[in-house]
């Protein structure tokens, strides 16, 4: 902000200098001044054409240009000053040389109007520059009001283009429990008299909290579309400006416009931008722009002038850092958690995003949903779009199962790389991925292996895809140890086959470290550390600051013990099944990619279904 004001100050100085130079050197009335002696000499020589005198000041023009003896260069027009003590009979000399004495100045000066206009020019230019910078610094020309100098266009409800289809709950899938929470808001907006008859009050606000891409903004639009009420949309960052008080004025204007057309809905996206807990000392004066904006929102939602008939829906990815005054009853009465969809929800979401995509008969959306655990609605929309793009590139009329499978690999693993590896590195990569795959097949309760490939993707030289058969919400210690063993399978295979390890296990070790740390420090799966959360999840970034040194030493010791035990078990299993490991590696070297059925068949491992495991 300070830099921007310095820019304005420098611009003002430059404009002043330019105008000053123009007035003094480029305008009229800049004829040279000569000595009276030189003037008398030119009169005696008969070289003066005409003069004009006002008092002792003389202005004139020569017949022929002359060189100023005082080094002023050639001149034709001139000015001089007659000394008060001069007694040289100037009039007789002028009359004798037939010099014309005029009643008007020889060199015309600027008029009064011109002087006034030139004087106002710098002010006009500075005002124009000020308005330009004010608009640039005050944001775009969106619907929010209150710029740096004046008010912009008042906020208006988000309208629909003629013929456009509005968003409703039919466009939302996979989060039925969240739609149930919002159904009450829609019903209140449609039938407010029923609730008022029972003494029920309209909820002031609904906070949608969840991971990015779970559909929070889509839900807010669907609520407005279902209720058929005006919908005002704003991002929290639009309220923040360099001038303190602008954000608060925009909030007042937004709520004022929403009250005029009540009942209405205001949607504020990414509210954590301005809704962070106060008292952090961000501003020395205590009047930070963010705090003033937040205070104004708190007042508008539940203050002396509460916004009757206006429901505020806000979305955030960080509900844990919001100010307590914002989430108390009377402000955001409902905090709705929007989680990633389950398998049935993913299937429904895929159905919505493929409504306008022609699908081949071999496409099974239920199977795609089973292989995409943890993906959000935005991820699934991107998956469907990537599959459609692949079909267009291949000049197909429909999206096939292969398109969806390749799109999933591209989304999860990255695009294929045309990397030519030496044969020795290619063999090592084949054994590395075979180790991952074989341990995933042999470990009881492990996630099924879906695909094994040694085709470079993203930063990886090879990939083994394993996804759960069913949704997992509570992970057992046995399952987590199995994941560690599977992640160490690549390094263990290199150790068993070559007797050395390479840098290819870097990403595997990162996964192993995170799982082991969680088992010991967060989930109480270590007898030595005990049943406590020594390192909460938000403290992992500042590892070493949330526990005593002795506890940290115990955590490190237990993590090493778990990982070492799992690594020894991985090496032992691979030695015991060395023939199966070699078969998988040779098949990978030949085919480069093995699908689920082929991988299990080549390894000689029976693929257990969920029914078999339960039996």
C-beta of residue 274 within 8 angstroms of C-beta of residue 297: yes
Tell me how far CA of residue 437 lies from CA of 74, 227, 462, 581, 584, in angstroms: 97, 52, 11, 9, 9
- Residue 51 falls inside a structural domain: no
Q: Quote the pLDDT of residue 450.
A: 84
- Residue 12 falls inside a structural domain: no
Contacts 24+ apart (CB under 8 A), 378-384: 378/212, 378/213, 378/214, 378/215, 379/213, 379/411, 380/346, 380/349, 380/350, 380/353, 381/349, 381/353, 382/411, 383/350, 383/407, 383/408, 383/411, 384/350, 384/353, 384/354, 384/357
Same domain flag for 303 and 363: no
Determine how β-strand 57-68 pairs with β-strand 48-54: antiparallel
C-beta of residue 373 within 8 angstroms of C-beta of residue 343: yes
Q: How many CB atoms lie within 10 A of CB 417?
A: 12
> Which neighbouring-strand residues pair with 466?
449
Same domain flag for 464 and 563: yes
C-beta of residue 493 within 8 angstroms of C-beta of residue 468: no
Q: Which domain holds residue 522?
A: 423-614
Same domain flag for 442 and 565: yes
Q: Which two tokens stand for residue 602?
A: 């080549």
Burial 26-56 (b: 16+ CB within 10 A, else e): eeeeebeebebebbbebbeeeebbebbeeee
Q: Quote the pLDDT of residue 614.
A: 40
Q: Quote the pLDDT of residue 118.
A: 67
Same domain flag for 470 and 610: yes
Q: Quote the pLDDT of residue 145.
A: 44
- Residue 159 falls inside a structural domain: no
> Which neighbouring-strand residues pair with 594?
452
- Residue 452 falls inside a structural domain: yes
Q: Quote the pLDDT of residue 571.
A: 93
Same domain flag for 428 and 562: yes
Same domain flag for 528 and 579: yes
Same domain flag for 228 and 268: yes
Same domain flag for 267 and 393: no
Query: Of 338, 363, 397, which residue constitutes the final position of a domain?
Result: 338
Same domain flag for 390 and 459: no
Same domain flag for 486 and 400: no
Domain at 370, CATH number: 1.10.8.60
- Residue 157 falls inside a structural domain: no
Question: Rounded distance, CA 557 to CA 264, Å?
Answer: 58
Q: What is the mean pLDDT of each run of 10 residues along the chain (615 residues)?
A: 59 68 56 81 85 82 82 79 78 79 67 64 74 60 42 56 64 76 79 81 82 82 79 76 66 83 83 73 52 79 61 84 81 83 86 89 87 85 91 90 86 74 86 91 83 80 80 84 91 90 86 92 88 66 62 90 93 92 91 86 74 40
Q: 451-494 pLDDT, tens per residue?
A: 888 888 767 788 888 877 777 778 888 989 999 999 999 999 99
Same domain flag for 250 and 306: yes
Contacts 24+ apart (CB under 8 A), 125-129: 125/15, 126/12, 126/15, 129/8, 129/11, 129/12, 129/15
Determine how β-strand 463-466 pairs with β-strand 449-453: antiparallel
Domain at 290, CATH number: 3.40.50.300
Q: Catalytic positions, please?
A: 433
- Residue 141 falls inside a structural domain: no
Query: Of 311, 338, 365, which residue constitutes the final position of a domain?
Result: 338
- Residue 494 falls inside a structural domain: yes
Domain at 584, CATH number: 1.20.58.760
- Residue 75 falls inside a structural domain: no
Same domain flag for 406 and 430: no
Beta strands in 557-596 (DSSP E): 593-595
Q: pTM score, two decimals?
A: 0.64
Q: Report residue 494: phi and psi, to 5°.
A: -60, -40
Query: Of 291, 312, 338, which residue constitutes the final position of a domain?
Result: 338
Instruction: Please give the tally of structural domains in the chain.
Output: 3
């Amino acid at each position: 902000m300070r830099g921007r004001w310095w820019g304005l100050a420098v611009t003002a100085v430059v404009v002043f200098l330019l105008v000053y130079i123009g007035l003094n050197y480029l305008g009229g009335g800049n004829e040279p001044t000569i000595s009276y002696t030189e003037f008398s000499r030119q009169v005696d020589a008969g070289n003066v054409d005409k003069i004009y005198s006002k008092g002792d000041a003389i202005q004139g023009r020569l017949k022929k240009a002359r060189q100023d003896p005082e080094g002023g260069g050639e001149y034709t027009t001139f000015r001089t000053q007659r000394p008060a003590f001069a007694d040289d009979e100037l009039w007789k000399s002028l009359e004798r040389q037939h010099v014309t004495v005029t009643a008007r100045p020889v060199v015309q000066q600027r008029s009064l109007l011109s002087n006034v206009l030139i004087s106002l020019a710098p002010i006009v230019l500075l005002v124009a520059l000020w308005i330009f910078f004010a608009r640039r610094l005050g944001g775009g020309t969106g619907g929010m009001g209150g710029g740096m100098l004046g008010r912009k266009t008042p906020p208006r409800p988000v309208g629909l283009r003629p013929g456009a289809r509005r968003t409703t709950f039919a466009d939302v899938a996979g989060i039925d429990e969240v739609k149930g929470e919002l159904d009450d808001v829609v019903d209140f907006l449609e039938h407010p008299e029923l609730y008022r008859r029972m003494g029920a009050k309209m909820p002031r606000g609904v906070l949608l909290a969840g991971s990015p891409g779970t559909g929070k903004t889509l839900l807010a639009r669907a609520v407005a579309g279902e209720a058929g009420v005006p919908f005002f949309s704003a991002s929290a960052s639009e309220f923040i400006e360099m001038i303190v008080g602008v954000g608060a004025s925009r909030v007042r204007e937004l709520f004022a416009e929403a009250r005029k057309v009540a009942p209405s809905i205001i949607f504020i996206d990414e509210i954590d931008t301005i809704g962070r807990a106060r008292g952090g000392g961000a501003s020395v004066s205590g009047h930070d722009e963010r705090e003033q904006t937040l205070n104004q929102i708190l007042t508008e939602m539940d203050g002396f002038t509460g916004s009757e008939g206006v429901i505020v829906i806000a979305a955030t990815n960080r509900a844990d850092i919001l100010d307590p005054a914002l989430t108390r009853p009377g402000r955001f009465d409902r905090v709705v958690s929007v989680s990633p969809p389950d398998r049935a929800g993913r299937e429904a979401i895929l159905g919505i995003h493929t409504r306008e995509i022609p699908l081949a008969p071999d496409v099974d959306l239920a199977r795609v949903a089973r292989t995409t655990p943890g993906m959000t609605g935005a991820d699934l929309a991107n998956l469907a779009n990537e599959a459609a793009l692949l079909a267009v590139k291949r000049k197909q009329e429909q999206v096939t199962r292969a398109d969806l499978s390749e799109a999933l690999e591209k989304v999860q693993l990255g695009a294929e790389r045309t990397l030519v590896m030496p044969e020795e590195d290619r063999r090592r990569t084949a054994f590395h991925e075979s180790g991952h795959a074989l341990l995933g097949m042999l470990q009881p309760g492990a996630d099924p292996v879906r695909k094994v490939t040694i085709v470079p993707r993203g930063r990886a030289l090879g990939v083994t895809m394993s996804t759960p058969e069913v949704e997992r919400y509570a992970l057992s210690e046995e399952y987590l140890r199995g994941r560690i063993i599977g992640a160490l399978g690549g390094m263990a295979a290199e150790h068993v086959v070559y007797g050395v390890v390479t840098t290819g296990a870097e990403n595997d070790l990162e996964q192993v470290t995170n799982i082991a740390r969680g088992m010991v420090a967060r989930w109480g799966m270590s007898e030595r550390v005990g049943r406590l959360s020594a390192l909460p999840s938000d403290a992992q970034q500042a590892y070493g600051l949330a526990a005593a040194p002795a506890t940290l030493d115990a955590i490190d010791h237990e993590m090493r013990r778990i990982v070492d035990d799992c690594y020894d078990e991985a090496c032992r299993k691979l030695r015991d099944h060395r023939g199966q490991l070699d078969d998988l590696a040779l098949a990978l070297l030949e085919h480069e990619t093995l699908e689920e059925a082929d991988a299990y068949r080549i390894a000689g491992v029976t693929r257990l279904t969920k029914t078999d495991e339960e039996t």
